[in-house]
Structure 1
Amino acid sequence: MPGTNLTREEAQERARLLAVDSYEIELDLSSAQGGGTAAPGGPDDGEGIFRSVTTIRFTAREAGDTFADLIAPAVREVTLNGTSLDPAEVFADSRIALRGLAAGPQELRVVADCAYTNTGEGLHRFVDPVDGQAYLYTQFEVPDARRVFANFEQPDLKATFQFTVRAPEGWTVISNSPTPRPEGTLWRFAPTPRISTYITALIAGPYHAVHSTWEDKRGLSEAQSAGGGGGRRAGRSVPLGIYCRPSLAEYLDAEALFEVTRQGFDWFQDKFDYPYPFEKYDQLFVPEFNAGAMENAGAVTIRDQYVFRSKVTDAAYEGRAETLLHELAHMWFGDLVTMEWWNDLWLNESFATYTSIACQAHAPGSRWPHAWTSFANQMKTWAYRQDQLPSTHPIMAPIRDLDDVLVNFDGITYAKGASVLKQLVAYVGMDEFFQGVRAYFKRHEWGNTRLADLLGALEETSGRDLKTWSKAWLETAGINVLRPELTTDADGTLTALAIRQEAPALPAGATGEPTLRPHRLGVGFYDLRDGKLVRTDSVELDVDGELTEVPLPKARKRPDVLLLNDGDHTYAKVRLDADSLAVVTRHLGDFADPLPRALCWASAWDMTRDGELATRDYLDLVLTGVGKESDIGLVQSLQRQVKLALDLYAAPDWRDAGLTRWAEATLEQLRAARPGSDHQLAWARAFSAAARTDAQLDLLAALLEGGEYLEGLTVDTELRWAFLQRLAATGRADEAQISAELARDATSAGERHAAAARAARPTPEAKAEAWSAVVESDALPNAVQEAVISGFVQTDQRALLAPYTERYFAAVKGAWEERSHEMASQIVVGLYPALHVEQRTLEATDAWLASAQPSAALRRLVTESRAGVERALRAQAADEAAGAPR
């Protein structure tokens, strides 16, 4: 949509000119229960429209011109300082022109017809098929508050927000301020503290609620109580609320959610020494949510797939807890203190990610003391992948405009940033780190900051000069490789050890230069004792430059395994020496502790992606060790990675053999797993994704229909859909069976699963229907579109999907320009012909890039997908070479 972008220069000029005081926002949602859901662009006939009235009080520091932001089908009135302006003259390209402002106080009133969306942006409207009721929620990050009310849409123009909402009878309305007692159908909320537009929120509908409190038994340090931050001592009680749709209420494990939340409150207040900044804390599980969750101040929205309808493994509960703690951390880092502009987005996201994992790992009574193991194997793997794409960028990324930031919620901003913070904590010390954080919160409460503000506080408390560290870690792109160099004498005694650091060239198209960085890391010495690999020595040191000598702990024989980055303090690709790799290949599952196992698994996966380890050898490694792996999160990561490697990185002429071997292994592990265990459930899901022979598919069908039974395995709703979708993809389930399953599960989740199953069917007609629904129509809601895309792309249907490569390149630019960001991104990434690992896919992509003149954001997404094909071609060549006669 023209005019929806905002450059950093425009934002800086507007912030220089204006200081914003307050918003009063009146929304009439009384027709929401009966009106239809709007198409992404908003309808013309009044259906799916709500009335929005906004009054903004602000100050112009000097005379000048500026603008307010609004995306709306129609603007009825614009009044500036009591003077009525013609909307036809001042509203264009999603901006309201404010010309000729005199210096001093200003008041802007805007009356508009705004549109509900079905895209998960702005004010999303969803109708639950179970009860026929409508449910609303807002999602405003990055620039979508302007879809609901007129505003100055940038993070550094903070203000107070007072919402007044008219809603259908029987609804509950939740916002950032405590929920008031309604006056009939009118809800008047108190003003918020000074916050940014993107963390305001409104959730409305007949939601189910459970309430509790967090009791502050500790209080704050005497200095903090006396010096600021609200001055609250022990005894404060914070109201807690958990909400979901009534159709999910039977599955809502509220007490478990409250337990994690209270654990976070206790640990964060201890570490931050700053009181929770808002008056209450609600967590709302909402439908068709695009992200994992959103840190709206005091009213966090969370995807309702986290209300588990069926049995899940403990890894799913761990992942959910990390999300809850991540958003809670944002109440301080992001909401209380907010980045000035989006180039410092990492200040929000990296900090929230680091502290959420640290809370899980260190909080007393945590169920997940090995949270850093999951981080090493999942989050850091995401970061390593992202950091090797042509779009790699510094953690502190240059953000020119909103288009840039919309594609920058990536593995660098979240996972690499959190890894670097973990490295910083190892560098300065945890106590010193959090002392700096405390000073930062107190100094900048309710304000906006830049990187220098945080580093300055950390320098004060740690006594270290962080400017060089910052330049190397936060202002440069790319990843280092660390390799050990060992020397032994004739009897095998280790006589010298060094760490060689490499800075590989950045990917083609990336900007910047390779950089050698300082690392604080551990070196672990592991030996086989009674069949277990146990740490027998360790050294912690600073690594800098190309070669760093490691002081040996004592005279000793070389260890069976020498592991760099033991403890996972730094961010780097780590390689094993040849002897260590040989031992790990035979004994990876025999590490006594889960973290070194995770580091070795991650190194093996990275070597596979880099073509240093053939896919067939990676499969051998996994099959040797996965049966001994106790950490269920690691098991599930390995299952995903093996399937991806076989689908994309295996030599084409060996792929079927590899997939067959994997399918047989998943069934073997399923039958061997302890009945009722997490491992049994994980292997059941892995088997359902891998089954390929007639006998395997017969078993899948029999498990679904009840003709076969595995002790301890409950084939519940979600597992039934997993089985059915695989049967549909292999032509073993037809429309009648899909419809029958949907009748059993007539819910929104069932509708998504059925849409995926229909799109997965291996017929030209099914593919054409799915393509048309996604690309040629914009009627699908965001969650259903995502499901159709996931079903459409089946790895064993390459021939059936081949004609869609040309159609993709013919349609992708139009989809990007005509759809909202979320909907277009699903199409651009999800339908890219990534399965066609061929030179002609690269050539088709290059031809399109040369001729289509895509925007920078669209170019980035397509180029990232292209890089995946290029990497897969290299990995396939390595796998083919490994299988060649020698």
Structure 2
Amino acid sequence: MPGENLTRLEAQERRAVVDTQSYAITLDLNRGAEVFGSRTVVRFTATEGASTFIDLIARDVREITLNGRSIDPAVAFADSRIALDGLAATNELVVDADGVYTNTGEGLHRFVDPVDGEVYLYSQFEVPDSRRVFAVFEQPDLKAEFQFTVTAPAAWKVISNSPTPQPEPGDDGTATWTFEPTPRISSYITALVAGPYEATYSELTSASGRVIPLGVFARKSLWQHLDADYVFEKTRQGFAYYEEKFSYPYPFAKYDQMFVPEFNAGAMENAGAVTFTETYVFRSKVTDAVRERRVVTILHELAHMWFGDLVTMKWWNDLWLNESFAEWASTIATAEATEWTAAWTTFNAMEKTWAYRQDQLPSTHPVVAEINDLEDVQVNFDGITYAKGGSVLKQLAAWVGVEAFFAGVSAYFAKHEFGNTELTDLLVELEATSGRELTAWSKKWLETAGVNTLSPAITEGSDGTISRFAVVQTAPADYPTIRPHRLGIGFYNLDGSSLVRTHHVELDVDGDLTEVPDLVGQKRPDLVLLNDDDLAYAKIRLDERSLQTAIDHLSKISDPLARSLVWGAAWDQTRDAEASASDYVDLVLRNIGSETESTTVRTTLAQLQLAANAYVAPEKREITRIKVADALWDLALEAPSGSDSQLQFATAFAAAAA
């Protein structure tokens, strides 16, 4: 019995038989605290005489009618499926059922605010949970128009994918909202949010000339803490950036953003109706790292309106591409369109650190994972899907060139609007705009696991100049793939009180050894930084002289991204037992007080604790812990009162002293 699972083969077989046109979904939210009424009218074409099934998870199914023919629910409904036999060329299916509210963040979640007793509802349908609210062909490549009619308490606000209509008053304090149909979208990005939410509204003018209504929502008891004007500001900046870079106007009628309780993830990209965790409603002081992350999340979900919602994967094996593209796009948009100009530094310190860690665990897997059924999807929602995928897309953009990358993406949106695609569809457009062949690149980067290590091999002449410079690439024994990389190499030299970049080259690195003749004849610098500008996804090594320069002078580099790369390289060498943990502790304690990037500070302080507690030689750990705690206390006292750094140092001290 299938239970609640669905295999890829079943989805392919169903797609070969069925093509969906529209859903008319009527929901009654006045049925009490446990159930709601759900009536679905589905119109679809099919291979005449064929059989298939539609998905539904419900407490009770009262009526099933196919083309006017009544079907016994007791016979047809089992294991989250309704069997459909004897299909016509054109079909109308009616399903009347009782859905069940959840408190687990799936389907239609119901929350009672402990502050004031108010009831709030919101949907969460990714991956397979719209079937908990209405009967649906639950797979991303069966797109359709969705029209919702919702009856709820008249005092509530009701939000869906289409603009909220004026409600029709009913009896006993109820009202009915009849929404316009959506464009053709996948079921997992449909949405329903209902309750006495507070809201504020604004608008913007799209590149197409359309006026796009905007809304920001939160529950009453949190409303005073929500800085909605700031959310609108970042939204406008994101709209302008994406519409220009994608050369495609915003594809939906409005854009609402709702901060909802007990949300399981950071956010969800429902078309025109994005939901966010309430963690992003700040009720007390938070670090700059958290504030920046909220901006990246806002722009991540906005990017999905094009990549994921307008153009959607055929099956869940390309979920990584949805998330990776949104992660890459939101980071570049944050860096180029908002005040958070060091967003790529944050990406390096957080996303890439996460990716490198995940990619060295026994549980690592290729970015393009084999997704044979819905259960496989849940296993692969991880740091490889998001962080490594985003890092690899950044490398892909560098490999083909950022302008060619955006041009390819624009062509992809225009060609496949409101349709479904596979990875190869995007690669075809990128090959056309860049002239690069990407089949071999994709196989090495996306179909194999593991992270490469890049090290400098430097021969220095008697006069202090470089007589030979090469990049050595290695791979772990379990994942021995040697990959092509586009990367920079930076030379940094001490100049008074600064450690400045004095030379930079960018090149393709491929194979076990890549000679770099452009660096021959240069004076050997104080610090050599492979992957300067952080284009590549690879661990990098610092030679002995560069590591000592970093320990003594890292804080003198003005570029926060270069500092983050050095922090990361030193940590990787420590973690891999190629550098002393005591040296890493010294590096951090000498330089962290001058670090300006909040996420870099947070990541480095966490690694400092791990080095002191687990990597330093056992006989030195106690004295090292005391040394670290004392230094963190001093740093907290020296930091400006109430500053982000003081909060981080004080928090780290509390952890070290515990």
Q: TM-score, normalised by structure 2?
A: 0.96
1:207 aligns with 2:162: no
1:551 aligns with 2:525: no
**1:865 corresponding residue in structure 2:** none
1:371 aligns with 2:343: yes
SS of the residue aligned with 2:457? strand
> Which of 547, 558, 561 is 1:592 aligned to?
558
**Aligned residue identity for 2:178:** R
**1:737 corresponding residue in structure 2:** none
> Which of 113, 127, 134 is 2:112 aligned to?
127
Q: Is the 2:613–2:621 contact (alpha carbons within 8 Å) kept by the matching residues of 1?
A: yes
> Which of 71, 75, 87 is 1:89 aligned to?
75
Q: Deviations over 1:487-546 (max 9, x none)?
A: 00123221110000111123xxxxxx5211111100000011113211000111110101
SS of the residue aligned with 1:623? helix
> Which of 211, 215, 219 is 1:237 aligned to?
211
**1:781 corresponding residue in structure 2:** none
> What is the CA distance between 1:256 and its match in structure 2?
0.9
Q: Is the 1:27–1:166 contact (alpha carbons within 8 Å) kept by the matching residues of 2?
A: yes
**1:876 corresponding residue in structure 2:** none
**2:369 corresponding residue in structure 1:** 397
SS of the residue aligned with 2:299? helix
SS of the residue aligned with 1:101? coil
**Aligned residue identity for 2:102:** T
1:291 aligns with 2:257: no
**1:111 corresponding residue in structure 2:** 96
Instruction: Assess, with a 3 A threshold, how the Cα gap between structure 1 residues 661 and 99 changes in structure 2: closer, same or farther.
Output: farther
> Which of 257, 275, 279 is 2:249 aligned to?
275
**Aligned residue identity for 1:18:** V
1:410 aligns with 2:382: yes
Q: Is the 1:496–1:552 contact (alpha carbons within 8 Å) kept by the matching residues of 2?
A: no
**1:797 corresponding residue in structure 2:** none
Q: Deviations over 1:729-788 (max 9, x none)?
A: xxxxxxxxxxxxxxxxxxxxxxxxxxxxxxxxxxxxxxxxxxxxxxxxxxxxxxxxxxxx
Please give the residue correspondences for 1:147-158 in structure 2 after superposition, counting only pairs within 5 Å. 147-158=132-143
How many residues of Structure 1 are paired with residues of Structure 2 in the alignment? Answer: 653
1:260 aligns with 2:250: no
**1:635 corresponding residue in structure 2:** 601
> What is the CA distance between 1:553 and its match in structure 2?
4.4
**Aligned residue identity for 1:171:** W
**1:99 corresponding residue in structure 2:** 85
Take 1:109 and 1:377, find their aligned partners in 2: how far apart are those partners? 52
Take 1:197 and 1:425, find their aligned partners in 2: how far apart are those partners? 30
**2:445 corresponding residue in structure 1:** 473
Please give the residue correspondences for 1:297-336 in structure 2 after superposition, counting only pairs within 5 Å. 297-336=271-310
Q: Is the 2:469–2:519 contact (alpha carbons within 8 Å) kept by the matching residues of 1?
A: no
Q: Is the 2:258–2:273 contact (alpha carbons within 8 Å) kept by the matching residues of 1?
A: yes
Please give the residue correspondences for 1:644-663 in structure 2 after superposition, counting only pairs within 5 Å. 644-647=610-613, 649=615, 655-663=621-629
SS of the residue aligned with 2:153? coil
**Aligned residue identity for 2:483:** R
Q: Is the 1:28–1:50 contact (alpha carbons within 8 Å) kept by the matching residues of 2?
A: yes
**Aligned residue identity for 1:437:** V
**1:30 corresponding residue in structure 2:** 30
Please give the residue correspondences for 1:529-568 in structure 2 after superposition, counting only pairs within 5 Å. 529-553=495-519, 555-568=521-534
Please give the residue correspondences for 1:607-646 in structure 2 after superposition, counting only pairs within 5 Å. 607-646=573-612
Take 2:31 and 2:288, find their aligned partners in 1: how far apart are those partners? 42
> What is the CA distance between 1:408 and its match in structure 2?
1.3
Q: Is the 1:20–1:59 contact (alpha carbons within 8 Å) kept by the matching residues of 2?
A: yes
**1:40 corresponding residue in structure 2:** none
Instruction: Assess, with a 3 A threshold, how the Cα gap between structure 1 residues 79 and 274 changes in structure 2: closer, same or farther.
Output: same
Take 1:62 and 1:545, find their aligned partners in 2: how far apart are those partners? 55
**1:446 corresponding residue in structure 2:** 418
> What is the CA distance between 1:389 and its match in structure 2?
2.0
Q: Deviations over 1:665-691 (max 9, x none)?
A: 222111111112111122232233333
Identity of aligned residues (%): 62
> What is the CA distance between 1:648 and its match in structure 2?
5.1
Take 1:79 and 1:653, find their aligned partners in 2: how far apart are those partners? 75
Deviates more, 1:443-452 or 1:312-321: 312-321
**Aligned residue identity for 1:252:** L
1:691 aligns with 2:657: yes
Deviates more, 1:450-459 or 1:57-66: 57-66
Take 2:365 and 2:216, find their aligned partners in 1: how far apart are those partners? 38
**1:516 corresponding residue in structure 2:** 482
Q: Is the 2:162–2:180 contact (alpha carbons within 8 Å) kept by the matching residues of 1?
A: yes
Instruction: Assess, with a 3 A threshold, how the Cα gap between structure 1 residues 613 and 100 changes in structure 2: closer, same or farther.
Output: farther
> Which of 323, 328, 345 is 1:354 aligned to?
328
Q: Deviations over 1:98-152 (max 9, x none)?
A: 12324x0112211222111111111111111111101111111111111111111
Which ranges in structure 2 are unaligned for 5 or more consecutive residues?
170-174
> What is the CA distance between 1:407 and its match in structure 2?
1.9
SS of the residue aligned with 1:536? strand
> Which of 427, 437, 443 is 2:399 aligned to?
427
SS of the residue aligned with 2:91? strand
Q: Is the 2:469–2:520 contact (alpha carbons within 8 Å) kept by the matching residues of 1?
A: no
> Which of 167, 176, 181 is 2:161 aligned to?
176
**Aligned residue identity for 2:29:** L
Take 1:648 and 1:95, find their aligned partners in 2: how far apart are those partners? 51
Q: Deviations over 1:161-183 (max 9, x none)?
A: 11111112310000000001111
Q: Is the 1:207–1:246 contact (alpha carbons within 8 Å) kept by the matching residues of 2?
A: yes
Instruction: Assess, with a 3 A threshold, how the Cα gap between structure 1 residues 77 and 422 changes in structure 2: closer, same or farther.
Output: same
> What is the CA distance between 1:278 and its match in structure 2?
0.3
Instruction: Assess, with a 3 A threshold, how the Cα gap between structure 1 residues 248 and 518 changes in structure 2: closer, same or farther.
Output: same
Q: Is the 1:539–1:551 contact (alpha carbons within 8 Å) kept by the matching residues of 2?
A: no
Q: Is the 1:337–1:444 contact (alpha carbons within 8 Å) kept by the matching residues of 2?
A: yes
Take 2:357 and 2:530, find their aligned partners in 1: how far apart are those partners? 20
Instruction: Assess, with a 3 A threshold, how the Cα gap between structure 1 residues 658 and 108 changes in structure 2: closer, same or farther.
Output: farther
> Which of 653, 662, 671 is 2:637 aligned to?
671
> Quick check: which one's strand share is greater?
2
Deviates more, 1:654-663 or 1:20-29: 654-663
> What is the CA distance between 1:369 and its match in structure 2?
1.2
**Aligned residue identity for 1:80:** L
Which ranges in structure 1 are unaligned for 5 or more consecutive residues?
36-47, 220-231, 507-512, 693-886
Instruction: Assess, with a 3 A threshold, how the Cα gap between structure 1 residues 613 and 63 changes in structure 2: closer, same or farther.
Output: farther
Instruction: Assess, with a 3 A threshold, how the Cα gap between structure 1 residues 243 and 592 changes in structure 2: closer, same or farther.
Output: same
Please give the residue correspondences for 1:2-81 in structure 2 after superposition, counting only pairs within 5 Å. 3-32=3-32, 35=33, 48-81=34-67
Q: Is the 1:537–1:553 contact (alpha carbons within 8 Å) kept by the matching residues of 2?
A: no
Instruction: Assess, with a 3 A threshold, how the Cα gap between structure 1 residues 192 and 548 changes in structure 2: closer, same or farther.
Output: same
Q: Is the 2:581–2:616 contact (alpha carbons within 8 Å) kept by the matching residues of 1?
A: yes
Q: Is the 1:122–1:145 contact (alpha carbons within 8 Å) kept by the matching residues of 2?
A: yes
> Quick check: which one's helix share is greater?
1
Q: Is the 2:468–2:520 contact (alpha carbons within 8 Å) kept by the matching residues of 1?
A: no
> What is the CA distance between 1:548 and its match in structure 2?
0.4
Q: Is the 2:452–2:474 contact (alpha carbons within 8 Å) kept by the matching residues of 1?
A: yes
**1:569 corresponding residue in structure 2:** 535
**2:172 corresponding residue in structure 1:** none
> What is the CA distance between 1:554 and its match in structure 2?
6.3
> Which of 129, 138, 141 is 1:144 aligned to?
129
Instruction: Assess, with a 3 A threshold, how the Cα gap between structure 1 residues 298 and 502 changes in structure 2: closer, same or farther.
Output: same
